[in-house]
Amino acid sequence: MPMIRSTCVHIFLLATVCVYSAHAATAVKFKPQALTNQDSKNAPLKNPEGVACSATSVLVSDTGNGRLLRYNLVNDDLKEGTEIRLPQITYPLRIKFASKGEVLVLDGKSRKIVRVAANNTFVAFLEPQNVPAPATIVTRSLTVDSKGNIYLVDIQGDRLLILDPNGVFIRQITFPADFGYISDVAVDQRGTILILDSMKDSVYRALVNENNFTVMAKDLQNYLFFAVSIETDSQGRVYLVDQNDNGVILLGQDGSFLGRYLNFGWKQGQIYYPAQGCLAGNDIFVIADRDNSRIQLFKLQ
């Protein structure tokens, strides 16, 4: 009898640990880690709308000042903040690291994509080649996968364009039927493409080599107002930055809602019309805190 009881206790404990572990694998805490609101010369940021992350550095679109800033990620904090001012970039919005240490910057005024070298010089405009009609491309957002392939959200052609690192057309995927307004794209480590529909509060996905998008998560209006940025982590979880309701929404690999984080405000840890988020090394989530004119770092725990 005592043996049966102890076996039951062990099974109960094991089940508890399993449930807890499963929960721990999905739940996340956003701990305010650091913030920066100035460059290396102590000049203030103004309404930054873009951030790009790598393991060791963070590039910022300092939109209101018409420049880029390159920060080093040291001890989970941003250091330096070297100014990159180029005549080809007057109103930088979205920004992504590309291959060879380059950065791709979407300029809001010219609506062109600018290639910036690792040494902070202008390389060229990204000119997509061999793209099928329509000839005009209007890029709303972009991302780059681990192979350096470039993904452009083309709102003129209602499609996602996939280009090789040199800008040569590989393939395209048309937006799903009845889409509202596609505002951002992300690609996870397995090559799954995710697009964000800000108007329909939905996320669509296309698995590697799939030629159409299917719904991953829809009717998220109970959790968000108007998401504008999408990012994924190594576990395939999805982070949506909700610009109009000042928060970050976390979705599981299957599109299930896992949590909503952060709140509106001016103090550290609070955000005000965030524009873009990215994941840097060491589980740091970086947010372009636009209307607070600063960049905030959150440690994911």
Residue 18 DSSP SS3: helix
The least distance separating another protein from the CB of residue 249, rounded to whole angstroms, comes to 13
The answer for residues whose C-beta is within 8 angstroms of residue 301's C-beta and 6 or more apart is: 28, 29, 31, 283
Contact flag: residue 100 with another protein (CB under 8 A): no
Contact flag: residue 219 with another protein (CB under 8 A): no
Contact flag: residue 210 with another protein (CB under 8 A): no
- The residues with which 293 forms a beta bridge, in sequence order, are none
Residue 72 DSSP SS3: strand
Which residue of 46, 79, 112, 299 would you call a contact of another protein, by CB under 8 A?
Answer: 46
Provide the token pair at 94: 């979205």
Residue 210 DSSP SS3: coil
Q: Which one of the spans 69-77, 134-142, 144-152, 208-216 is the region binding another protein (CB under 8 A)?
A: 134-142
Nearer to another protein, 91 or 169 (CB): 91
Provide the token pair at 194: 């995710």
Contact of 130 with 169, CB cutoff 8 Å: yes
Question: How many CB atoms neighbour CB 146 within 10 A?
Answer: 11
Contact flag: residue 111 with another protein (CB under 8 A): yes
Contact flag: residue 257 with another protein (CB under 8 A): no
Alpha carbon 241 to chain centroid distance?
Answer: 8
The least distance separating another protein from the CB of residue 28, rounded to whole angstroms, comes to 24
Which residue of 83, 233, 245, 283 would you call a contact of another protein, by CB under 8 A?
Answer: 245
Nearer to another protein, 46 or 79 (CB): 46
The least distance separating another protein from the CB of residue 195, rounded to whole angstroms, comes to 15
Number of residues that bind another protein (CB under 8 A): 35
- Cα(135)–Cα(133) distance, integer angstroms: 5
- Cα(199)–Cα(191) distance, integer angstroms: 25
Contact flag: residue 296 with another protein (CB under 8 A): no
Q: Which one of the spans 42-50, 123-131, 202-210, 276-284 is the region binding another protein (CB under 8 A)?
A: 42-50
- Cα(50)–Cα(239) distance, integer angstroms: 15
The least distance separating another protein from the CB of residue 47, rounded to whole angstroms, comes to 6
Peptide bond into 134 cis (omega under 30): yes
The least distance separating another protein from the CB of residue 272, rounded to whole angstroms, comes to 9
Question: How many CB atoms neighbour CB 215 within 10 A?
Answer: 14
Contact flag: residue 260 with another protein (CB under 8 A): no
Contact of 263 with 256, CB cutoff 8 Å: no
Q: Which one of the spans 186-194, 231-239, 246-254, 290-298 is the region binding another protein (CB under 8 A)?
A: 290-298
Contact flag: residue 108 with another protein (CB under 8 A): yes
Closest C-alpha to 104, from 138, 65, 136, 150 = 150
Nearer to another protein, 96 or 290 (CB): 290
Which residues are near another protein by CB under 8 A? 37-38, 44-47, 90-91, 108-109, 111, 134, 136, 138, 140, 155-158, 180-181, 199, 221, 225-226, 244-245, 266-267, 273, 290-294
